[in-house]
Amino acid sequence: MRKKLRSRIFIHSLALLTASFFLAGAGAAAQEPGGEPQESEAPAVYEAEDASFAGNVHKEAFQPGYSGDGYAAGFAGDEDACTFQVQITQDGFYDLNFVSAAVGGYKENYVFVDGASAGEVSVEDMSFTDSVLTRVYLAEGEHEVTIKKFWGWILLDRLEITESEELDETMYEVSAHLCNPNASESAKRLMSFLADQYGKKILSGQYSSQGQLGKEFTVIHRVTDKYPAILGLDFIEYSPSRAANGSTSKATEYAMNYWKNGGIVTFCWHWNPPEKYFTREWWRAFYTDSTNIDLAAILNGEDEEGYQLLMEDIDAIAKQLAILQEADVPVLWRPLHEASGGWFWWGAAGPEAYKKLYVLLYDKLTNEYGLNNLIWVWNGQDKAWYPGDEYVDIIGEDLYPGERVYASQIDAYLNAVHYTDAHKMVVMSENGCVFDPELAVRDGAMWGFFCTWEGEFVAKNMAIYAYSEQYTEESMLKKAYDSDVVLTLEDLPDLTTYPIREDE
């Protein structure tokens, strides 16, 4: 039910391309936060014009500000890439800085090391500037470092490689204090357990719209002989505009059952908006391209009817959360997810409107409905969209790097850590591939939990439930679930009696 891989539309402007040729690049001195520029070891520099090209990539020398004899351009097609041959003198973690310029606004592109996905780098400036992928592990010897077209449309000047800074392990020291001062004892117990494990263990999780007896849980148990610690569910079918079209759900019931069986539950909400805003099929109306809803207009009073309709939608979900509260089920609650991507309507009006909606939702559920069983997982995926520490207990990142990519996603992890100066737990709230826990420990990417999306990411669409290796090979799933670092349902303590941690 979600957009599995990020897809955006880019319209190339020849005028912007031409104008960019007249902008000079500028470098920035390395600087400690709030301090003076610091001396650092000179980076190893590899000029793009000396690298290997694939597809349409070629050398140019029109844009001012480049170093060497030119730069690489022509990142337009899916096979377009630039590969550097680099030499590493000792094992360790390194930052890869692809000094580049964007053509026509913000761009992201893939990075591979020795053919394996290492992450993505982004650039927005139309002058040559830093675009850094942090903390990539490289063994001593020669490596191939490739930047490949995702959006494309960059001018790549050079690759600079420097040793990564040591991790500040105090980032794992998170508080168990919840942003709701009236949080229930069950919510406090669950958060205390999560905070105690953070930095040491990673909880396993799996979305399954049919609960513990669904195909995803069935095939995971068949392969690993274990169940995930966390069951992921969606309130989508409780949206009034979907219920009006005949949708039904047992998600609330499945959540209560899993809690009774000793598990943890997390909920997202693919919020189908009110029917008056549909522009395409009702079953996909949560996507921006299927609605004409103007969230900014609703929240600033220009669309009073729309505001009332949104409040009625929230009321419907609040009723389900209240049922869970009555059953004393704490919920890892992840509303308004992936907002900064723009593909869902709640993110289409930009960060300010989104933050107003998030705070409004928090206030309504917490103060009007008195829902104290919620642990608030914010999943905006961009620092500019962060609503404030007083509304966030946990930070979530959704990551879909492709098929059979087992990297720890350390760059995304550290990026999320720095959304706020407060120490917040960071989790992989959705994932396609299950990452290798050994790499997570090595890299320091100690996600509080992962929660694999449902369907094809783990199970084939067949009458007889069968495991799908499209995204995670069976051997890697076994490795993850057998890891001493990964907690499954069988490893969980009795969370109804877990001691509450009294944090200052």
Which pair of structure tokens corresponds to residue 430?
């959705």
What three-state secondary structure class fits 26? coil
Q: Look up residue 488 and give its DSSP letter.
A: B
Q: Distance from first CA to last CA of the chain, Å, rounded?
A: 40
Q: Which residues pair with 144 in a beta bridge?
A: 85
User: Helix (H, G, I), strand (E, B), or coil: what is residue 274?
Assistant: coil
Please count the other Cβ atoms lying within 10 Å of the Cβ belonging to residue 462. 9
Q: How far apart are CA 493 and CA 491, in angstroms?
A: 7
Alpha helix locations (H) across 183-294?
185-197, 215-224, 240-243, 251-260
Tally of CA atoms within 13 A in the half-sphere of 211 that contains its CB: 15
- Measured CA to CA, the distance from residue 405 to residue 110 in angstroms comes to 13
Say how far residue 343 (Cα) sits from the centre of its chain: 14
d(CA 370, CA 359): 15
Under a CB-based contact definition with an 8 Å cutoff, are residues 452 and 431 in contact? yes
Question: Of 2, 13, 4, 44, whose CA–CA distance to 432 is shortest?
Answer: 4
| Catalytic-labelled residue, pool 49, 216, 430, 454 | 430
* 179 neighbors 389 (Cβ within 8 angstroms): yes
Q: Give the span between the Cα atoms of 59 and 157, in whole angstroms.
A: 10
What is the spatial distance between Cα 236 and Cα 26, in angstroms, rounded to a whole number?
A: 47
Please give the distance of CA 36 from its chain centroid, rounded to a whole number. 32
Instruction: Report how far residue 248's alpha carbon sits from residue 293's, in angstroms, rounded to the nearest whole number.
Output: 24
What is the C-alpha to C-alpha distance for residues 271 and 101, in angstroms, rounded to an integer? 37
Is 338 an active-site residue? yes
CB under 8 Å to 175, separation ≥6 — which residues? 195, 423, 503
Q: What share of the chain is helix, strand, coil (3-state, %, to 5)?
A: 30, 25, 45
Catalytic one among 47, 338, 397, 454?
338
Task: Give one DSSP letter per residue of 21-84, joined into a string.
Answer: TTPPP-----B-TTS-B---PPPEEEEGGGSEEETT-EEE--STT--TT-EEE---STT-EEEE
Task: Give the residue numbers annotated as catalytic, written as ranges.
Answer: 338, 430
